[in-house]
A and B are shown apart, each in its own frame.
Chain A
Amino acid sequence: MNKLASNFLFSFFVTLAMVVLDMLYHLAGGTAVHLLYVLVKFFVIFLVTFLTAHFVGRSPGEGWFTTISGPIIFYLYYRFANPTLNREVFVLDEQFWFVFAHIAMMMLSYFGVYYFVFGKKDSIKAKSIVSVFVLALLVTGIDILYQLTYVHIATGGDEKANAVALHFEKSFNLFALVFLSGLFAKKLKKNPLVSGIAFVAAVSLIIFLTSFNLPRAFFGIISGALPYWLLSLNFRGKR
């Protein structure tokens, strides 16, 4: 894999993991989460992570720079942009202290993905748990993006409907169940194909059982297979 693709994948994983952690945090705290907010945050964090990884490098030093500068730049965007949701109806994460929460989540996701990619070979057990944690975050993230996009299209871009589409309990249950099924799938690692198929089937089934939504469960095949396949690629590349 060349340097560009390697850095792109690395940044994609870091950003998606950070955005999912952040969404779960906001849902738990009753702060509004809607598609445009998620997309802007994804774009800003991804751009900082990718440009730093590609033009400077990937190391703990660059990790700290990305971890601090990404959320601060996003906060600046948020302060100067006009909010698209009504402040009197929805709680928005525009207070300054949210920067520290975002930094903490960015730190967890950057160093989690970094450890997964560049961790030492003598810590395979810990590395395996981190990889399943990242995998569960990515699967949850793609499923949440599917839900938000579906509501966005179905309601003709109504952001108020979008902001009440997600629920913390359902999203967290999905994350926890996917994490557990990922741990079981890792037990079958002697046969990667069987392990992958078992994981994707489990994700699709979990989504169906937690939502009783058949189209979403079918999309769960992509939500499960795409991150599983991408994480299996060797994207260490040149640092």
Chain B
Amino acid sequence: MKRKVLQWIVILILAAIAFVYLTLPYKTVKNILGIGLGLRHNDHVMIGTVALIIAVVGIYRNIVKR
């Protein structure tokens, strides 16, 4: 049970990373949130995409394949 809760917390964190890096404009991520990491816009989008992939597969594993 504890492991399951931990998995859902990790999925939520990954989903939040995906939302921030994938959808928000470059200036918002870099100047307002200050988490640009010195990378270009397309690198941010790729970070968000990888986080989204892991989150989606995690949700599928936890919900569909119980």
Contacts and interface: CB of A to CB of B under 8 A. Distances in A.
Interface in A78-103: 80-82, 84
A77 B46 contact: yes
Contacts of A73: 49, 52-53, 56
A47 B58 CA distance: 13
Contact of B49 (A52, A65, A77): A77
Interface size class of B (residues with CB under 8 A): 10 to 19
A51 B22 contact: no
A56 B60 contact: yes
A31 interface: no
B28 interface: no
A61 B16 CA distance: 27
Interface string B28-60: 000000000000011001101110111011001
Interface residues of A, number: 19
Contact of B54 (A51, A77, A84): A51
A132 to B, nearest CB: 31
B60 A44 contact: no
B18 to A, nearest CB: 9
A55 B60 CA distance: 10
A144 B24 CA distance: 35
A76 B41 contact: no
A147 interface: no
B57 to A, nearest CB: 4
A55 B53 contact: no
Given A55-B61, A77-B22, A80-B45, 11 more contacts: A40-B46, A47-B50, A51-B54, A55-B57, A56-B65, A61-B64, A65-B64, A69-B56, A76-B49, A77-B45, A77-B46
Interface of A: 40, 44, 47-48, 51-52, 55-57, 61, 65, 69, 73, 76-77, 80-82, 84
